[in-house]
Amino acid sequence: MKQTPIKTVVIVGGGTAGWMSAVALATVLRNRYEIRLVESDEIGIVGVGEATIPMIQRFNKTIGLDENEFVRETQGTFKLGIEFVNWGRLGDRYMHGFGRVGQDLWTVPFEQYWRKQHMAGKARPLEEYSITRMASKANKFLPAQADLPNSPLGEIAYAYHFDASLYARYLRKLAEQRGVKRTEGMISHATRREGDGHVDAVVLKSGERIEGDLFIDCSGFRGLLIEQLLETGYEDWTHWLPCDRALAVPCESAPVLTPYTRSTAHKAGWQWRIPLQHRIGNGHVYCSNAISDDEAAATLLANLDGKPLADPRMIKFKTGMRNKSWVKNVVAIGLSSGFLEPLESTSIHLIQASIQQLIDFFPDQGFSATDVEEFNRQSRFHFERIRDFIILHYHLNQRTDSEFWKACASMEIPETLKEKMDLYRSHGRIFRFNNELFTEVGWLQVMEGQNLETRGYHPLVDVQTEAGIEEFLEAVREVIGKCVDVMPEHSAYIAQHCKAAPLKM
């Protein structure tokens, strides 16, 4: 079979999605293809999106990032998990810490032994068996120590917080060094070729035509090619996730540099807090049907840890996904492919996952329909599974202080989520479905943290003696405590390895 390779890849948009795609493709395609990126300073980027999950380390490895340089260049900090405040009941506080909880020893997962003790009223809080949760509480940080593979210190899972604008700038520098050609200008329209209707060029307001074989639509919410041109359609999920606006505002840093994101549930939404080296990023995600913009802004400003550094900026969105991410020779990556609110910091991960899928299914001029279909199936799978996990946070609440939370608790949920919750209620069992993003331990921490009771525990726990279980749990807890003791303060770690210079205004 003769395969004709494509020659030119055109990336439309230079936000996080555009530059992540550019640098990843430039690294993988090794100058065998021409890569062009078009962006418009006049339009700008969405400029939020500052918290990540540990999978980003894979991306960083693929593009060969130096961690300390990357953190320094983006005023970044380290992230060990997300603290959730007021999510189960008002006043509740728990953390979804990265990495594992406890240690595997016998037949069934660690938490099942804990659960038996918990049901008997004898267990310590679950967080005491997680190094990332305990380190977060102590504001400490250390990356996984490769020379200590058998210690919790050898498996510390972490991600980053960073300034979104500096991140795009940093990736741009790398991409251009690797041969990506950037064009500044506003795209006025795109043209399609006769016959198969593939896009053959984007045309700038200046009249310049940029031709290509494969177009990556990273134009953000507007979906310039995937929607405005190809009219792919959008699946709306606001009946499950009714928040539709965010107000974002930076504020001055607090005295302690926390190594985690915080999400505080308010009356009709929630507020993020993302600590960076030079400021704290904050935002209030809310449902405009339940509270006014003024009330949302007042709530946001009343809950900052420092003086605001700007006026709140509003971003409107509709939660859901594009019916298809890949249509003809256009692949949508980033906000153009769909939006899930940043409760579990998953959007940048979805960008990374789409880029990996594009590499897996990289086309030739034939654009195989089977490959495209499988790409779209996989994209949908990732989106839907993350959607379920986010719905869980809303649905699993016991709050009675607002109509918003009562409606979330009583709403119909997707069957896939219902099955997961029912299984957990029975004997605390959780199974990861195929390669869905969140692992058993992620689901566990939210279900347990938001008070989902189980009727029992795994019967095979009783194969071990009561004393043996107690001794095992205590040993794990003690080791974690000792490991956290030797970790440095988060701010001290940064000062030593990746302190950023003050920003030039």
338 near ligand FAD, judged by CB under 6 A:
no
- For residue 69, how many other CB atoms are within 10 A of its CB? 11
- For residue 61, how many other CB atoms are within 10 A of its CB? 10
Return the number of the residue (299 or 347) whose C-beta is nearest ligand FAD.
Answer: 347
Q: Is 67 exposed, middle or buried (0-12, 13-18, 19+ CB in 10 A)?
A: middle
259 near ligand FAD, judged by CB under 6 A:
no
Catalytic residue at 307? no
Considering only residues 7-46, where is the footprint of ligand FAD by CB under 6 A? 13-18, 38-40, 43-46
Q: Which of 174, 224, 390, 484 binds ligand FAD (CB under 6 A)?
A: 224
Which contiguous run of DSSP H or E holds residue 472? helix 466-486
227 near ligand FAD, judged by CB under 6 A:
no
Considering only residues 53-112, where is the footprint of ligand FAD by CB under 6 A? none
Considering only residues 355-414, where is the footprint of ligand FAD by CB under 6 A? none
Q: Which of 212, 223, 320, 342 binds ligand FAD (CB under 6 A)?
A: 342
Return the number of the residue (350 or 446) whose C-beta is nearest ligand FAD.
Answer: 350
Dihedral sign, CA of 87, 89, 91, 96? negative
- Of the listed pieces 47-55, 193-201, 263-271, 439-447, which binds ligand FAD according to CB under 6 A? 47-55
Considering only residues 156-215, where is the footprint of ligand FAD by CB under 6 A? 164, 186-187
Q: Which residues touch 90 (CB under 8 Å, ≥6 apart)?
A: 399, 401
Considering only residues 437-466, where is the footprint of ligand FAD by CB under 6 A? none
Which contiguous run of DSSP H or E holds residue 265? strand 261-265
Q: Which of 109, 150, 102 is nearest to 129 (CA)?
A: 102
317 near ligand FAD, judged by CB under 6 A:
yes
Strand partners, 269: 286
Q: How far apart are the C-alpha atoms of 327 and 324, rounded to whole Å?
A: 7
Q: Which of 11, 26, 35, 51 binds ligand FAD (CB under 6 A)?
A: 51
Site map 276..295 versus ligand FAD, x via CB under 6 A:
-------x------------
Q: Which of 342, 458, 454 is nearest to 390 (CA)?
A: 342
Return the number of the residue (21 or 445) whose C-beta is nearest ligand FAD.
Answer: 21
| Sheet with 234-236, edge to edge strand ranges | 234-236, 320-322, 338-339
Q: Which residues touch 62 (CB under 8 Å, ≥6 apart)?
A: 24, 27, 28
| Sheet with 34-39, edge to edge strand ranges | 181-184, 34-39, 8-12, 214-217, 330-332, 326-327
50 near ligand FAD, judged by CB under 6 A:
yes
- Of the listed pieces 232-240, 345-353, 456-464, 473-481, which binds ligand FAD according to CB under 6 A? 345-353
Look up residue 23 and give its two tokens.
């640098």
Q: Which of 74, 132, 136, 219 binds ligand FAD (CB under 6 A)?
A: 219
Q: How far apart are the C-alpha atoms of 134 and 74, rounded to whole Å?
A: 26
Radius of gyration of the chain (CA): 23
Minimum gap (Å) between residue 254 Cβ and ligand FAD = 18
Q: How far apart are the C-alpha atoms of 74 and 489, rounded to whole Å?
A: 20
Minimum gap (Å) between residue 251 Cβ and ligand FAD = 16
Active-site residue among 79, 137, 140, 324? 79
- Of the listed pieces 59-67, 206-214, 328-336, 462-470, which binds ligand FAD according to CB under 6 A? 328-336
258 near ligand FAD, judged by CB under 6 A:
no
Residues tagged active-site:
79
Q: Which residues bind ligand FAD (CB under 6 A)?
A: 13-18, 38-40, 43-46, 48-52, 164, 186-187, 218-220, 222, 224, 246, 248, 283, 315, 317, 334-336, 342, 345, 347-348, 351
